[in-house]
Amino acid sequence: MSNIEEAENRIKSLTEQINHHNHLYYQESQSEISDYEFDLLLQELIQLEQQFPSLKKIDSPSNRVGGDITKDFATITHKYPMLSLGNTYTEEELFEFDQRIKKLLEIKYQYVSELKFDGVAISLIYENGYLTHAITRGDGVQGDDVTNNVKTIRSIPLKLKSNDYPSYFEVRGEIFLPFSEFEKINKEKEELGEPLLANPRNTASGTLKMQDSSIVAKRKLECYIYSLLGENLPVQTHSEAMEKLINWGFNVSPTYESHENIESVLNYIKKWETARFNLPLGTDGIVIKVNHYIHQQELGMTAKVPRWAIAFKYKAEHVSTLLESVEYQVGRTGNITPVANLKPVLLAGTTVKRASLHNANEMERLDLHFNDTVWIEKGGEIIPKITSVELSKRIHNASKISFIHQCPACATPLIRKENEANHYCPNELSCPPQIKGKIEHFIHRKAMNIEGIGPETIDQLYDLGIIQNYADLYSLSFPKLLTLERFGEKSANNLLLGLEKSKSVPFKNVLFALGIRFVGATVAEKLAYHFKNLNAIINASYEALCEAPEVGDRIAQSVTDYFKNPHNLKLIEQLKSAGLQFYSEEKTIELEGDKLSGFTFVISGVFQHFEREELKLKIEKNGGKVVSSISAKLNYLLAGENMGPSKLEKASKLGIKIISETEFIAMIG
């Protein structure tokens, strides 16, 4: 599209369509189009905004995909402090709360009850209908500005519907990760042999503080709004405020209710005690508020909490059952995870048969014995965990369950690295679960994305001796595949076609597929972009690896160790012979000027305005060259925060000019 007027009309139409479908999905729980069709609309909008950047607006739905990098989160003081609530666990204490309200008000009043969601509290500020700031709770007085990350959450409006809102107001809400998304992330991590996330609440909290907002967007966080704050608000009660927030486009949980008395509140609490387990997120209680704002003002505050609200906390549901056995799983990196097999028992709406014991330290803490009766509950109301042993039911002279010393799959003595809680099997070349796990990782959709093959096929291929590693996949032939059970001509052709297609997968995916410890998809992408080809990574020194974005000491050491191993180098030669991509395509650099022509730079540290790759590109666009090591021929050391002291010392000894980010910006004008 070349006409700016046509582009403006199409952008307006796409924005309206995308906002409409977002509202249907998050506020009405309806969907008129598929995710694929929605993504096509969003992609078209992004392309048009890239072609006509002047047409992109502050509330564009394209902001949902993220892309901004935040090195340091600014601290902002809350206009209205984010206070905690007093907690109660019994009906008697709720009646006492009601009696205090009755005594202080001496007039008729109402309550509003709403579920207390297990997420991350957030304060959202809107000015003239636009989201301008998103601030975490912090210490209640001040929190972190996480606006870029919050803008990726599709259930939070960037621009409000209607037009009857105040010019400035604030809403409070709970950002959460739905159980379905949490399970999806953990399933992927399990397939990749990575440590699992502990619970949805911690995952949401960690995601909200990520530096790269594009990664936040992929996590699919959601948000429920539960409070409206401001001056001259167009409402008199909390329940009216909830209706108004819904009209403005906010995602308000439909589970709140108004009550004429405390008995009605208790019925609400009893109703949700079990019904809450059917919700898409965790809850740990009920919040009860006096409904009318005038009554809230009259009741006021204590030194720490409001007198007009209280939280009723459900006791964590836990049950006892029999520990039948402990088995040990071997991950693709050799990590040994103990798992308790339990007599099936109903807990929080689901039947629990297994629970992770995490590591030897946790087993020692629990002091497990054979045939123990154990208490279990759900951490974050999703992952079963053993909390304790019922010692009164322990069988006399029962033997203690101790962590194993040998790999359960290959009998190799286990090792435990310093400062690590987990045990590992070091036999990565011959331990079947590790080899199969590495092959499963290699074919994963985020790696080589090889279609036509799954865990069962891998088991057969390995157990029959047809393949010994992932590189052997490319030596598979039609006759070999026909020897497999339930494998016909169509299945064989699909697998061979999948292998052929994988040869065009980008270098970053190939690097990730190698399964280097601590090198996830994001780090692999950064390494591929930084070094351009595999040979450069293989030959890079430990110090040079540390210069790459996202690469610290642990990752650099792991990469160095991987490429020192002759077995791994042999696999890479096989993959090269098969025709896989081991280099990134060089992009033509469009010059901005020649102010840095003839100058060489080393970049070190963390910068406020640029990623290091962006600095490198900026230098090249202005005619300069970036090198990885300091020598007497170097012109400038571009120094950021937390740069290595050895570089600084070497540059000083050689008399090389050391410049800051501000001085560099001045150099290029």
What mean pLDDT value characterizes the chain?
A: 89
- CA atoms of 492 and 264, how far apart (whole Å): 64
> Mean pLDDT: which of 46-60, 203-217, 586-600 is highest?
203-217
- Quote the pLDDT of residue 59: 81
Q: Under a CB-based contact definition with an 8 Å cutoff, are residues 611 and 549 in contact?
A: yes
Specify whether 480 is catalytic: no
> Taking 80 as the threshold, does the pLDDT of residue 69 lie above it?
no
Greater confidence (555 vs 418) lies with 555
- Quote the pLDDT of residue 26: 67
- The residues near 259 (Cβ < 8 Å, ≥ 6 apart) are 110, 111, 112, 113, 265, 268
- CA atoms of 269 and 252, how far apart (whole Å): 19
- CA atoms of 293 and 110, how far apart (whole Å): 11
CA dihedral sign of residues 50, 55, 56, 60? negative
Q: What share of the chain is helix, strand, coil (3-state, %, to 5)?
A: 40, 20, 40
- Quote the pLDDT of residue 468: 95
> Taking 90 as the threshold, does the pLDDT of residue 537 lie above it?
yes
> Taking 70 as the threshold, does the pLDDT of residue 587 lie above it?
no
- Tell which residue, 565, 466, 662, 521, has the closest CA to residue 192: 521
Superfamily of domain 432-502: 5' to 3' exonuclease, C-terminal subdomain (1.10.150.20)
- 300-330: pLDDT as tens digits: 988 778 999 999 998 877 899 999 999 999 9
Phi/psi at 123 (nearest 5 deg)?
Answer: -115, 125
Q: Say yes or no: domain 507-578 is CATH 1.10.150.20.
A: yes
- 364-378: pLDDT as tens digits: 999 999 999 999 987
Q: Give the model's confidence band at 339: pLDDT under 50 very low, under 70 low, under 90 confident, else very high.
A: very high
Q: Give the model's confidence band at 116: pLDDT under 50 very low, under 70 low, under 90 confident, else very high.
A: very high
What type of residue sits at position 538?
A: I
> Taking 70 as the threshold, does the pLDDT of residue 382 lie above it?
no
Give the residue-averaged pLDDT of 7-31: 80
Residue percentage of the chain with pLDDT more than 70 = 95
- Tell which residue, 355, 357, 356, 358, has the closest CA to residue 347: 355
| Domain ranges (residues) in the chain | 4-65, 78-313, 318-393, 432-502, 507-578, 600-667
- 250-296: pLDDT as tens digits: 999 999 999 999 999 999 999 998 898 888 888 889 999 999 999 99
- CA atoms of 100 and 109, how far apart (whole Å): 12
Q: How many residues does the chain have?
A: 669
- CA atoms of 637 and 226, how far apart (whole Å): 51
- Quote the pLDDT of residue 128: 93
- State the Rg of the chain over Cα: 29
For domain 318-393, give its CATH number from 3.30.9.30, 3.40.640.10, 3.40.1260.10, 2.40.50.140.
2.40.50.140
Strands (E), 215-306: 222-229, 257-259, 283-290
- The residues near 501 (Cβ < 8 Å, ≥ 6 apart) are 450, 451
**Active-site residue, selected from the candidate residues 116, 159, 378, 385:** 116
Q: Give, to the nearest 10 degrees, the angle between helix 200-208 and helix 179-191.
A: 90
Residue percentage of the chain with pLDDT more than 90 = 57
For residue 431, the SS3 value is coil
- Quote the pLDDT of residue 569: 96
- 433-465: pLDDT as tens digits: 999 999 999 999 889 999 999 999 999 999 999
Superfamily of domain 4-65: Helix hairpin bin (1.10.287.610)
Superfamily of domain 78-313: DNA ligase/mRNA capping enzyme (3.30.470.30)
- Quote the pLDDT of residue 299: 94
Greater confidence (229 vs 191) lies with 229
> Taking 70 as the threshold, does the pLDDT of residue 144 lie above it?
yes
Q: Under a CB-based contact definition with an 8 Å cutoff, are residues 144 and 136 in contact?
A: yes
> Taking 70 as the threshold, does the pLDDT of residue 70 lie above it?
no
- Quote the pLDDT of residue 593: 86
Q: Under a CB-based contact definition with an 8 Å cutoff, are residues 122 and 172 in contact?
A: yes
- Quote the pLDDT of residue 340: 95
Same fold, 78-313 and 432-502: no
Give me the CATH topology for the region 600-667: Rossmann fold (3.40.50)
Return the minimum-mean-pLDDT range out of 235-239, 498-502, 646-650: 646-650
Strands (E), 494-611: 600-604
